[in-house]
Structure 1
């Protein structure tokens, strides 16, 4: 068994033909650049492409397969030079009977599977070439379609008020999916404003595997959240075993953004234009209860929970809070280039390089900040209402 780093939520900005896919994502997010970034800078071993149902993206991937640059693995996934595995997925929007919306991601083992899924999906969306399309399907209906093509379905950024199942769609996954399908939802994606401790306030998630993924809209954001998994090989089949915690495969570590840095950690009053940090949970504005409030992830979880403190099952791995290098005070573009040139990848800098080595390359101030980030000792102003939190020295 080997340990691998895995980030299963990466968007495509444009295809090689110039077709826009994720309109809010960087144009530099094309398949080749994602692979290069993952291999050469980030050190991520398994990358999940969540816009792979776009026919134009499928063309780009097939071209790399035909050229021999990507090799289809027998147990699912596409391998690049035995250095990184691509897992193909599709993030989509579903709608409840009451008009509430949420994002879910279907992942598929083979290119042929997601191509067939794409052809079926075209009947339910306005533009099959674009990312995260509204399907007008319920969560349960989307599960059945994904499952029929050999895929698995994972709720994306579960707790965010912007299209999270708990944040915007309903109060319970069991109620949303029904008992039979609920048992086949093997994992949930926590999202940037949540961590395992927060999710473990909800009893119905006790048996679910938690994933921390980047939801990257630019190359720089790849790996801002990721997972360490124990697998025999980096394939779709092995990843699925890890999500099910079968045959010794499992997630052995979650590495995520310090939740306070997330855009939706605390509730936010849209009229006062301020983050509500005076109460737990903050479900309304203390100045005027009629003001419109965007519920924060922390506040929403506490609203749903009947627990005074979280309960983590024995299998739950450690959640390592981290601050991406680009968000650490003193780490600008030139400093980041120095670090990568000296030490290899961001994973190496964040996890392996000792303090003395850092001082030699970037000086005492930046080395101290990187070390404090590792130890969770940086001061942070919490985010809310779509505004990221900030690290302060």
Structure 2
């Protein structure tokens, strides 16, 4: 059975995170977005750990659900009954919505991001890693050991510790061999394992003899699987994509779809480890949903304050010094990737189009599962309505579409375009179609500035996609 997973999120106890990032609201948005399994996140924070312990109960091995009194508190039910615009009420009273993912129970797993700042090989390192725990008992043991080693867990839901990535991996495995460590957003300049500013050139350099226990990496918003396919040491490791969301609306902007024999911690662990196993199991990664990497904050090199953005070709021509302030540019993900890539792996990708007009990116060497690149539905609606994602009319239209056509992922991946047009209008439907085929333009992000998506090029004939495509059928 397939499960859509988003296993890198943050709670209200992390810095610069919405106060709406609490479990009941996260679960509600998950149903609307088509997400099956979320992380409870940030479990090293003492106050948040108490909250999630009080709100969750174990359903399967290492898989949790909201307690019934949290899912449907009486006060909330009364509020829904009297609030005409409440999303849950509109779904209960709309017969078309009864077959959507909205009736699904949201599942939770225990994973959390930890920031390690330390010196290794004479260089300051700042590395973020996702740590997975099989249950509350093991999560609590990890937190207690971090405190014993002098780590302050009260300051931030994403704690900053002085342990190296290797030391962190070593001690969590000593607590329980079922734990996992996954380096997250590995290419970001300042906090990624491969990052240009404070990262490493390889997993072996970072984790040394323990690198064999690193079974996968997370792409981050500024890279996609195709870029990571060019790194030789990742050929037999799993490439994961999650949203790193700081607000409910951002959940699911990247997600990993897993085939699991049953929804348990061990099944998810098995899917993440599957690439490194000689014998292929029944738990595996099927595909991933990706942000366009150009839309990420660090895709190109540049200086945000100086308005300077350089792609790899401009770097070759003009160098890495800012022409305005004459300081070194923040190295972009794409340029850093080209420094580490195996040139023999630069042409492993082919594109195929399915019956819904959706472009799939596949690894012709069959080492990795395929993926799709999407633009969030709110962004499509906002551009079609000449508005912003925060405007009420855009939010209302998002609500209308997901109520009538299914979850956000259903709409973006497979809902017939004519059905979207009926629920919304032809321009929004056209926008979804253009995103599926990749008929969009993106001004790449750089130095912490998100890239800018342009679906419609007003006053110009859009440049059609020139990729060679073949029809394919995928079970999604």
- Describe the shift of the 1:348–1:238 C-alpha distance in structure 2 as closer, same or farther (beyond 3 A): same
Equivalence for 1:77: 63
Q: Is the 8 A contact 1:96 1:139 kept in 2?
A: no
Q: Distance in 1 between matches of 2:203 and 2:435?
A: 34
Quote how far apart the aligned CAs of 1:286 are: 7.0
| CA shift in 2, pair 1:187/1:280, >3 Å | farther
Pairing 1:353–2:415 present = yes
1: distance between equivalents of 2:157 and 2:33?
A: 24
C-alpha RMSD over aligned residues: 2.0
Unaligned segments of structure 2, at least 5 residues: 69-103, 275-279, 349-362, 386-393, 457-476
Partner SS, residue 161 of structure 1: coil
89, 104, 124: which one pairs with 2:111?
89
| Residues 36, 106 of structure 2: 8 Å contact kept | yes
Q: Which of these residues, 222, 231, 252, is aligned with residue 251 of structure 2?
A: 222
- Following TM superposition, by how much is the alpha carbon of 1:304 offset from its aligned partner in structure 2, in angstroms? 1.5
Find the partner of 1:36 among 4, 19, 28: 28
Give the corresponding residue for 2:183: 155
Partner of 1:295: 331
Q: Structure 1 residues 152 and 281, CA, compared in 2 at 3 Å: closer, same or farther?
A: farther
Residue 11 in structure 1 maps to residue 2 in structure 2: no
Cα distance in 1 between the residues matched to 2:128 and 2:231: 20
Question: Would the aligned equivalents of 1:284 and 1:293 in 2 still touch at CA under 8 Å?
Answer: yes
Shift of 1:62: 1.6
Aligned-residue offset at 1:53? 1.7
TM-score, normalised via structure 2 length: 0.76
Structure 1 Cα separation of the partners of residues 192 and 19 of structure 2: 26
Quick one: which of 296, 305, 318 aligns to 2:341? 305
**Residues of 2 paired with 1:116 and 1:370: CA distance?**
46
Structure 1 residue 280: Cα displacement:
6.4
Match of 1:18 in 2: none
Q: Which residue is equivalent to 1:322?
A: 374
Instruction: Provide the C-alpha distance between the structure 2 equivalents of 1:370 and 1:4, rounded to a whole number of angstroms.
Output: 23
* 1:103 and 1:132 in contact (8 A); partners too: no
Using the TM superposition, give the Cα deviation of residue 121 of structure 1 relative to its aligned residue in structure 2, in angstroms.
1.4
Aligned residues: 378
**Is the CA contact (8 Å cut-off) linking 2:190 and 2:199 kept in structure 1?**
no
Q: CA deviation at 1:291?
A: 2.4
C-alpha distance in structure 2 between counterparts of 1:191 and 1:12, whole Å: 18
2:203 and 2:228 map into 1 onto residues whose CA distance is 13
Q: Say if 2:304 and 2:449, in contact at 8 Å, map to a contact too.
A: no
In structure 2, do the counterparts of structure 1 residues 386 and 286 end up closer, same or farther at CA, with 3 Å as the change threshold?
closer
Structure 2 partner of 1:251: 285
Distance 1:270 1:171 in 2: 25
Contact 2:5–2:257 under 8 Å retained in 1: yes
**Displacement after TM superposition at 1:129 (Å):** 5.3
The residue aligned with 2:193 is: 165
Deviation at 1:254, TM superposition (A): 1.0
Q: Larger radius of gyration, structure 1 or 2?
A: 2
3-state SS, counterpart of residue 142 of structure 2: helix
Question: Does the 8 Å CA contact 1:55/1:129 hold for their aligned counterparts?
Answer: no
Q: Distance in 2 between matches of 1:129 and 1:35?
A: 25
Contact 1:28 1:218 in 2 (8 A): yes
SS in 2 for 1:178: helix
Q: Is the deviation greater in 192-201 or in 310-319?
A: 310-319
Change (3 A) 1:291 1:136: same
C-alpha spacing 1:129/1:56, structure 2 compared with 1 (3 Å): farther
Structure 1 spans left out of the alignment, 5+ residues: 14-20
CA distance in structure 2 between the aligned counterparts of 1:280 and 1:305, rounded to whole angstroms: 19
Shift of 1:281: 5.6
The answer as to whether partners of 2:301 and 2:335 remain within 8 angstroms in 1 is yes
Query: 2:90 matched to 1:60?
Result: no
- Are positions 1:133 and 2:124 aligned together? no
State the alpha-carbon separation in 1 of the partners of residues 28 and 46 from structure 2.
Answer: 22
1:35 deviates by 1.7
- Report the CA distance between 1:299 and its aligned residue: 0.8
TM-score, normalized by length of structure 1? 0.91
Q: 1:286 to 1:306 in 2, by over 3 A?
A: farther
Q: Measure how far apart 1:100 and its partner are.
A: 1.7
- What are the Cα deviations for residues 130-167 of structure 1, in whole angstroms up to 9, with x where unaligned? 22222111110010122123211000100011300101
CA deviations 1:327-377 (Å, max 9, x no partner) are: 222262222122112123112211221111111122111110111111211
